[in-house]
Amino acid sequence: MQSKFINRLPSQPITSQFPPKSIGKNTTPAKSFAETLKESFEGKSLTISKHADTRLKQRGIEISSETWREVESKVAQAKTKGVKESLVILENAALIVSAKNSTVITAMDRKEAGSQIFTNIDGTIIIDQ
Residue 118 backbone phi and psi in degrees, to 5? -105, 125
Give a yes or no: residue 80 inside a domain. yes
Q: pLDDT (tens digit, 9 = 90+) per residue, 51-80?
A: 999 999 999 999 999 999 999 999 999 999
Question: How do residues 3-29 score in pLDDT, each as one tens digit?
Answer: 666 666 666 665 656 555 555 555 556
- From 44, 46, 54, 47, select the one nearest 107 (Cα to Cα): 54
- Model confidence over 111-124: pLDDT tens digits? 999 889 999 999 99
Residue 38 lies in a domain: no
Q: Is residue 4 part of a domain?
A: no
What is the average per-residue pLDDT within 77-85? 95
Is 117 part of a structural domain of the chain?
yes
Residue 57 falls inside a structural domain: yes
Confidence at residue 33, expressed as pLDDT on a 0 to 100 scale = 58
- Domain annotation covers residue 3: no
Number of domains in the chain: 1
Read off the pTM: 0.65
